[in-house]
Structures are given as C-alpha cells and as structure tokens.
Chains A and B, each alone.
Chain A
C-alpha cells in the first residue's frame, strides 16, 4: 500500500534534491534523537555555510568529507510537531486531463508529506472533506499511525461539493495544539472566503501550507471547437467557445490564482500551486522548503 503512494522513484527524487530530504533518506532524523554528539532536545533545523569565526564544533564533517565544503549544523529546541493533512475530496477533484486526476495527485503528495512527518516523529493526522468531513484520523505519533493515515487516504473517494466552512470549523475543534496544517484542494471558491476559513487556524499559531491542486487544462484549456462543459459538482452545463477559453477564462483563472496566493500569503500562510503535470518531487521540494523555513 505504501509502495503505491511512496514509490521509490518519488523518495529517491526527494533525497537527491533537498538536504532535508536527504537527511530523511539517510535516516538522519531517526539518529537525531539518539546521538549525544549533537545533543538531545535539539532538533536539526538547517545547514548554513561556514563563515570564518563560526564555532567549528558545529561543522558537519561528514558533509565536508563528501563535498569538501564546510556547513554548520543548526538545531532547534525539540518540539514534536503535529502535522494535520486536509485533503479536499470533492467531485471537482476528480477532474483530469492526463492519467492522473487531482485527487490522486493530492493523495500522492499527502502520503509523501505524511511519511516525511512520520520520519520526524511528528504526529500526523488526516481530514478528508468535501462539504462535510468525510474521514478524520486524529493526529498521533503512535506506531501504526502512518498506516492509518495512508489507509484513510486510500479510501478517500470523491464526494459532493466543496465547502470550506464546516470542515475547517471541525479542524479548529480538533486541533488543540500548535502544529502544521497542510491543505490540498482546488479551491474553487472566493479567495477571501478561503482566507477567512483558514485564518482561525493561523490565529492559534498553526502553520498552514496550502497546495492549490489544479490540472493544466484548468489553467490553460485546450479547446479545438466549441464544447458543452458540464460542471462536475453542480452538473450545470454551458457551451464554451475556444476563443473564450483562450481569452477570458485564462485571464480569470490566472487572476483567481493570483488572488488566492495573495490572500493566503497575506494571512501568513504558505501557498503552492501544484499542477498535476508537475513531478511530485517539485511539489515536495516546495513543501520542504516551506517546512524548513517555518519549523
């Protein structure tokens, strides 16, 4: 089951591209808690280039031996994070123009992030929602939590329409500790409403990372002739000409993306546009970049 979501190619890609991911692959995180050399109660934070005058005790000589470059290891005080993954399983997430629909892409990303979090002993939780909370796996760092999360992800089926109100209200009730909330959705909603729904989480000190999952066809539709489009959630239909799709629609969706990004970021949250034609590692790299900066 894990193999499906965490394919070796995905993990290999992560470990080869980002130092934090490399740490994960090498089992550095697990050793982090046991090695006295680097101190307990300290959580590896980041590498920094060595500058003359820095304390040589913090130089990572292993890295120096491999790369002949001197890096300093920086640590943060150990604060086991609680990572809660929210996956939108509304009907619109079923859309796909290639071989992978948006929900599946979100599953892959969520599983990868859950795995990474579990490797860091973070408590991981999962909420699958549409207009209601469909599945809820409370955050936990217990053994077997990863399996539960992945199982819940596996059984996340497209539901009805998206409604950010109820699910996020639930989140506020469930999330009592500060932590990290990762949201996967296509966000077909007013950006302000989305921001309003997410801001209460942020107000509790929770880091919120938003993955805006979109199919490339949604960003740049390719219509050769006028077609009748059927809304996957509302079942409304409309005839669309290639001219319109090429012109006004593209303009509007780009404006929506920009607005959403601006709103999210203005609320102190992170935004990442995850197009389903992009490799998973690129999205994970983005996440890890965010994670690195925040935690």
Chain B
C-alpha cells in the first residue's frame, strides 16, 4: 500500500478534535454536589454507560470520518497482481510473409519457429495464427486445436505485400478489446525497419501484452533492386520515348557496377551498364526502342546475385497507339492560338494527338465524330449544321473545348452550353490593368499543377454566366474563367479567354505546355496511367451506373474475378506482382504492370532499442506510483478512492442520524425537566 500524496495524512491529526470534544472535555466536568444520594441507586449506571456507548459510537464515526477524509486526500493505492498478465494468455503467432520474406529460407525458418511456438503454448492454451502481408491476414481464430494451427502455418506462402507493424498493433488492440485476456504476441519475420509506421504511437500495444520478437532475417542484408521504371502508359512512337530505370542499392559500402537489361514482350531489347553508388541509386535510360501496336509488356532486370532476387526485376506496360486527330476550329481572322497550340503539343513530347485546323466558318459538313475532341477557338459564327452535329457528338460522349475571345463576345450565348455571354471586358495593356486567376481547382486533371495559371495576366475576359457546372478557375474579381459541364455522355469545357498572347500572356508562361498537354489528354480521353503500379493499388472496373461485366486476367493468365465479382465489383486490388489485363465492356483492354513495394527491398532491421520500446508499450499499465517507482507489468495499481468516498458518505449519513437523535433526546429531556 502506498499514497500518492502522503502529506495529506497529516490531516489525520484532526481526530484530536472529536477526541477532545468527547473525552477530554467530558472528563473535565466536575461532579455536582447533591444533598444526599439516599434515593439514587448504583444500578442506574448502566443507563449512563449505554449513553456513553452511544457517545463512543458517535466519536468513532467522527474519527473515522476525519481519517477517511485524510485518506482520500492522500490517495492510497494498492499494488495487486495484474490479471491481464497472470491469467490464461492468448498466444498470437504473427508470421511475416511480405515481399522481403522471399529471401532464401526466411519464410521456412519463420514457419518452423511458428510451429515450435504453437507446440509450446501449454496444455489447453489458446493460440491464433496471423500473417503479415500489407494488412493482417487472420489465418485461424483463437483455438487450442494444434492441427488447425499447424495447417494454417503450413499454408503460409510468400506474398508481395509490405510489412506493416502498425497494422499488427492495431489488430492486437482489437483482439484485446474483444477477448479481454492477456495476449502474448510473437512476431516472426525479418523485422524490416521500413515496416515501422510513421508515428511510434501506432505501435501502441494493449496493456499486459507480452511482445516476443523472433528474427529470421538473413545475416546478409546487402541488396540491389530495380526501384522504378518511368514509362508512359500510351506511346505513339516508341523510338521517341525515353524509358528511365532506377537501380537502388541497400546496405552497400562501395559503388557497384550492374548490368541492366530492358525486355519488351519477353525479348531483350537493350542492355546497359550502370554504376550504383554505395547506399544510393543509379539511373539508366533506354531510348530508340521498337514495339508493336497495342499492349506491350516491358521488364527491366538486373543481375544482382543478392539475397533477395525477387526485386531484381521491374515490370512496366504501355500501349502503342496511332496518333488521333483533334479538330481545332478557329477564327479566320486570328490564328495565333493555333500556332501556340501546335508548338505546345510539339514540346510536350510523345502525345497521341495531331491537330487538324480549319476556320469556324468552314466547318459545315465536317463530321466531329472522327476526332478525339473538338476545340472551338473564339468562334464568332458557326454553321448551324456543324453546331447541330457538334451537339450530337457531345451528347454521344464527345468532348468540346471552347475558348471565348473578341469574336465570340459578339454572340449572346456560349456555343453548345447556351450560357449567357454578358459582356466582353477589355483591359488595356498599356495601363497594366489586368486580372489574374484565383481559386484554381488543383484537383482537376487539366489544372493539376498548382501553378498552372499562376502569374498569367488576363487582359480580356469574356464574361459568361455558367449554368450548373464545375468551375475550375476564377479570375480575381470572382468571374468564371474555366468551367466544365457534362453534356449528355460527353463534356464541354469553356475557357473565358483565348490561348494566344493577345487576350492574355498565358502562352508565354512555362505552365502553358503542361496545361495544353493535360487538356488534350483529358479532352481526348487518353488516360495518364503510369506504366507501373505497386501491389495493393486498385483499378476501377466500372462506374456506379454501369452494369456491364468486366474481366481481370491475372499474371497467371487466369481470370482473377468470380462470375459475381465480374458483374458487381467496382474495383480490383492488385495483390501480386505481374501483368494484369482489365477488359471492360465496349472499351479497349487495359494493361497494368504491378510491382511489389520497393521499400521491401531495404532489409535494414529494426534496432533493438526500438523493439524494446515497442515491448514497453504493452507493459506500462501505470507510469509510476506515488514514490515514482515504475510498476512491473505483472503488477496492477488499484486506487480505492471510489470505495473510500462511498464509505465516507455512509459515515456522514450515520453520524448525522445518530448525532441528531442524541440532540433531540437532550432537547426532550430538557423540555421534560
């Protein structure tokens, strides 16, 4: 027993007050003289004793009350046995089967260790087997059946996921909250440092959890890996495309030369040498490649000869397509925007678009459906037939990009959307009076770069009142600059200025080229899918309205979806490395190259200090006692203040009752006298 605030026990000296009142003060009372005791009898002392006893009871209650008050302020505590530690324990055996466990023999050693832990859990002891592979995979429920536990361990195979000790701690917290038994957590794995969560607090284990760590990592942690390959998802001319591979080295002490091989569709197309600095990265570029039209499966390999061979290759995929035409209808008097557009598109590199231009007045009879999308550049007038065809085109899923300038300001309405054009505001350039863009939606594919419209001076803005639409950018005075509206199955985007350097100086800014590139990709429906995605990322199979079936062909060449999933699943998560082909209804197949998280390649183990600190999160039931002593995990602090308070209330009530009864009796006797 101890006290958090022992100094308050001095208050117990207060019991002297009732003692003085009841005993000392009473003893001071001198006997009263009486003429004769002839008519008094000795036997009547019993009644006095009875009264005295009542006084003593009152005295005892008052003393107890004061003592309890002092005790409550002193906050006593008891150190008891921690039932969460000393009771029957649940042994959780967590086997790491992440990508890094593909090192030679690591998983086998882990499984052997797991078997021995299951066997040594004691008669009737319950155990649960889980695996770590990105998330925590529950392989068994808590059970005492050794056969089930051993079977679960035997069934563990290497995965391509990433270790996450934070996920494991979260799982244990959930189990502890439900099971309410002490937990003995055995973590078997290579104890990679990269498995630690960003915040140490995520590793918090429930009180009373005994963490035992069993390392099965190889003694050799030096490793080389193909960390990344930068490749576009869509290619029109592979010879112009540059593929860049990054080779990383871990736990190396000196620069190392490695041979890097590029393979496309199983054929080696290029081999290069690269020197990788110690604990650093080397980059290799592959250009002038050739590839067939359609989906192509690429792979970059190194010959490392290290403990983890699984990360010596990196998959990537791309689709070679024919360039698609974009119709740019422009004002016949002003073709500067066309020039800037072509220049920007040329600068963007291998874009799958070519521009076909014509004046707005000559578009009659042109079929918009032959184009990836149509751009109306400051068209003052449009042939009615073309505008009608354009509406049908957009309704059917086509995209139209409209810019408004001096000529279109003469119209009352924006083409297609029929939004009202209020006025064309012109700010003279000489007076340096201009507007700048504000409130730019950085989440939109076109303005994804936060600085897309930064510092662009807009001298001429055509004011329009957008209907129900998504405003992507506004100018400083709150007017709409760039708005997008869904038009049937397609979309229309309206830009309140032109893409030349008359109404604004946008083409002179560096952000113009990416803006045009993103705009073309977005309007043209070309996804900017990267060449490779990591394991555990997802791909959308269908939107909410679509009920069309989708198919996912996995790395093994078999369908990854059941029949029900292929008609209902909205997305698909890539669980393994390799190439996945997603086939959606009425769409071209899409290729996904999936690679394991390359953080798994860093085999640097967690330091012992970190492990010890992690263990302590499960044993620190109480920080310290009143005298600052840290409690052992088998000890539990019990603070009885609630009970003391309850007893205090009872005593106060009893003291009040007895005291008032005594007082009333005294009054009665005086009244009777």
Contact = CB atoms under 8 A, between A and B. Distances in A.
Given A228-B32, A239-B48, A253 B37 contact: no
Q: Which of A218, A239, A248, A253 has the most B CB atoms < 10 Å from its CB?
A: A239
A2 interface: no
B39 A241 contact: no
B44 A232 contact: no
A241 B45 CA distance: 8
Contacts of B666: 224-225
Contacts of A227: 29, 31-32
Given A239-B44, A241-B48, A229 B673 contact: no
A130 interface: no
A233 B36 contact: yes
Given A95-B35, A240-B40, A224 B670 contact: yes
Interface string A197-241: 000000000000000000100101111111111111110111111
Given A222-B673, A224-B669, A244-B40, A239 B45 contact: yes
A46 to B, nearest CB: 38
Given A223-B669, A239-B45, A230 B35 contact: no
A86 B163 CA distance: 120
Contacts of B32: 227-230
A222 B666 CA distance: 12
Contacts of A249: 39-40
A241 B35 contact: no
Given A229-B40, A239-B45, A246 B31 contact: no
Given A223-B669, A244-B44, A256-B39, A95 B51 contact: no
Interface string A173-190: 000000000000010100
A138 interface: no
Contacts of A267: none
Contacts of A243: 47, 669
A252 interface: yes
Contacts of A242: 669, 672-673
Contacts of B45: 238-239
A229 B48 CA distance: 13
B673 A223 contact: yes
A5 to B, nearest CB: 22
Contacts of B177: none
Given A222-B673, A223-B669, A232 B33 contact: yes
A90 to B, nearest CB: 9
Interface residues of B, number: 24
A20 to B, nearest CB: 33
B42 interface: yes
A224 to B, nearest CB: 5
Given A224-B670, A224-B673, A234 B48 contact: no
Given A222-B673, A224-B666, A242-B669, A230 B40 contact: no
A82 interface: no
Nearest to B37: A231
Interface string A60-71: 000000000000
B34 A95 contact: yes
A224 B670 CA distance: 5
A231 B36 CA distance: 5
Given A239-B45, A239-B48, A256-B39, A230 B33 contact: yes
A84 interface: no
B639 to A, nearest CB: 43
B48 A188 contact: no
Interface string B31-70: 1111111111110110110011000000000000000000
Contacts, number: 96
B37 A234 contact: yes
Nearest to A240: B40
A237 B673 contact: no
A232 B34 CA distance: 6
A221 B37 CA distance: 12
Nearest to B46: A241
Interface string B9-39: 0000000000000000000010111111111
B178 to A, nearest CB: 65
Contacts of B47: 226, 241, 243-244
Contacts of B44: 238-241, 244, 248
A230 B36 contact: no
Given A229-B37, A234-B37, A241 B51 contact: yes
A200 to B, nearest CB: 24
Contacts of B29: 227-228
Contacts of B41: 238, 248
Nearest to B43: A244
B673 A218 contact: no
B34 A246 contact: no
Contact of B48 (A95, A232, A240, A253): A240
A102 B51 CA distance: 33
A229 B31 CA distance: 5
A228 B39 contact: no
Contacts of A93: 35
A242 B41 CA distance: 13
B33 A95 contact: yes
Contact of B34 (A224, A229, A244): A229
Contacts of B672: 242, 246
A92 interface: yes
B35 A232 contact: yes
A237 B31 contact: yes
Q: Which of B32, B36, B37, B38 has the most A CB atoms < 10 Å from its CB?
A: B36
11 contacts: A93-B35, A188-B36, A224-B666, A224-B669, A225-B669, A228-B31, A229-B34, A231-B36, A238-B37, A238-B42, A249-B40
Interface of A: 92-95, 102, 186, 188, 215, 218, 220-234, 236-244, 246, 248-249, 252-253, 256
Interface of B: 29, 31-42, 44-45, 47-48, 51-52, 666, 669-670, 672-673
Given A95-B35, A239-B44, A256-B39, 9 more contacts: A92-B36, A94-B35, A188-B38, A226-B52, A230-B32, A231-B34, A231-B37, A238-B37, A238-B40
